[in-house]
Structure 1
Amino acid sequence: MASITATQFNLVYDVLSFSLATMGATTIFLWMRVSSAAERYKSALIISGLVTFIAAYHYLRIFNSWTEAFEWTKDGTVQATGIPFNDAYRYMDWLLTVPLLLIEIVLVMNLPDDEIFSKASKLGVASALMIILGYPGELVLDENHLGTRWFYWFAAMIPFVYIVYTLLIGLADATNSETDLTVRKLTKGVQWLTVISWCTYPIVYVFPMLGIARDDIVVYIQLGYSVSDIISKCGVGLMIYRISMAKSVALRRGSEQTPLLA
């Protein structure tokens, strides 16, 4: 395990704690607002809350692993305990939450049911493949074997590019078909927020290849991935909530204006 300073330990400790609290709070909010959504959009809110709930659980495990991997000495410094820091929890989290995150986006879009299933299935498989391909390279931090890390980075970028293409171009017609201007802007916003936040993951992935000192790599990776997770899970989840509420209001107004048949 890399040696770190007390400041670095506290920084990661605080960011992991903040991430855990953010995921938990977002989960509670989303699930408590499910009853306010129209039946058609309740699944999207439930899945959004499920994404942050799963993330909160794994952040708890990451946080505990971090505190077990290091200990404070009597002279006020931090040293490794010899217990490996298990960052695999993060990839287990992504394997579950990333497909669900894409599904929640598809569920609030203006698509027929059969196309919803098709798009959700393809995006779910592509995202799982992206995580599986990226994980082996994440384990490579040795400067002498960074070529292997690059290989897995490029492999994972193939499904990544497909997902980005689908979100911004493949679903463009569905986005533009939204008659409500506010909903259309929110839908475009959630697509772009997802893509922009996701672009931070491959950047953090290449940190070890940028000549950053190995003692600092673990810290930078934890900070980078935590910030990305908050944006892509909590931020996107709250935008899904806004879209669901806006569409629910529109549905209720439409039903109120439709006269009952005798």
Structure 2
Amino acid sequence: MKALLAATLQSGDYVGFTFFIGSMAMLAATVFFFLEMKSVDRKWRTSLLVSGLITFIAAVHYYYMRDYWIQNGTSPTEFRYIDWILTVPLMCVEFYLILKAFGAKIGLLWKMIAYS
């Protein structure tokens, strides 16, 4: 039964608290990006969608990292790499979408992904 309960932060657990604040900030950013999609020019909508996906993935991973930290007291390295494997290519897509509005070519996207 204990495994089904969510991990609880203890007073003074600054690492766990930081993971929690990070997950809540990313979740708030996700909501903001998704709600703002209709209020921006059409050329920026996909960019906001990708931003929302990045922050949502990060929010979920930070939440799991908090639980891992609380239960084990060690750095959740595996979760960080999983997060990076998903979000870094998406960030490259995001940068490309922004630069595309100013004339960037698709080759730049593939260079950014390869370099990342």
Q: TM-score, normalised by structure 1?
A: 0.37
Does the 8 Å contact 1:27/1:52 carry over to 2?
yes
- Supply the AA of the counterpart residue of 2:91: L
Task: Kindly state the Cα deviation for residue 85 of structure 1 after the two structures are TM-superposed.
Answer: 5.1
Which residue of 2 is the match for residue 126 of structure 1?
Answer: 115
Q: Partners of 1:124 and 1:41 in 2: how far apart?
A: 21
State whether structure 2 residue 35 is matched by structure 1 residue 45: no
Task: Kindly state the Cα deviation for residue 102 of structure 1 after the two structures are TM-superposed.
Answer: 2.3
Q: Which runs of 5+ in 1 are unaligned?
A: 1-5, 71-83, 128-262
CA-to-aligned-CA distance 1:169-217 (integer Å, 9 cap, x gap): xxxxxxxxxxxxxxxxxxxxxxxxxxxxxxxxxxxxxxxxxxxxxxxxx
Give the number of equivalent residue pairs: 104
Given the alignment, which residue of 33, 37, 42 partners 2:36? 33
Query: How many percent of aligned residue pairs carry the same amino acid?
Result: 30
Task: Kindly state the Cα deviation for residue 105 of structure 1 after the two structures are TM-superposed.
Answer: 1.8
Does the 8 Å contact 1:99/1:125 carry over to 2?
no
CA-to-aligned-CA distance 1:51-104 (integer Å, 9 cap, x gap): 10110111111111111114xxxxxxxxxxxxx653210111111111211221
SS at match of 1:33: helix
Which residue of 2 is the match for residue 93 of structure 1?
Answer: 83
CA-to-aligned-CA distance 1:208-227 (integer Å, 9 cap, x gap): xxxxxxxxxxxxxxxxxxxx
Which residue of 2 is the match for residue 104 of structure 1?
Answer: 94
CA-to-aligned-CA distance 1:230-254 (integer Å, 9 cap, x gap): xxxxxxxxxxxxxxxxxxxxxxxxx
1:170-189 equivalences under 5 Å are: none
Q: Which runs of 4+ in 1 moved over 4 A?
A: none
Q: Partners of 2:83 and 2:22 in 1: how far apart?
A: 13
SS at match of 2:76: coil
Q: Partners of 2:18 and 2:109 in 1: how far apart?
A: 32
- Supply the AA of the counterpart residue of 1:122: K
- Supply the AA of the counterpart residue of 2:84: W
Given the alignment, which residue of 10, 15, 31 partners 1:12? 15
SS at match of 1:108: helix
Q: Partners of 1:62 and 1:69 in 2: how far apart?
A: 10
- Supply the AA of the counterpart residue of 2:107: S
State the structure with more CA Rg.
1
Query: What is the root-mean-square deviation of aligned Cα atoms in Å?
Result: 1.7
CA-to-aligned-CA distance 1:135-164 (integer Å, 9 cap, x gap): xxxxxxxxxxxxxxxxxxxxxxxxxxxxxx
- Supply the AA of the counterpart residue of 2:60: Y
State whether structure 2 residue 41 is matched by structure 1 residue 22: no
Q: TM-score, normalised by structure 2?
A: 0.81
Which residue of 1 is the match for residue 57 of structure 2?
Answer: 54
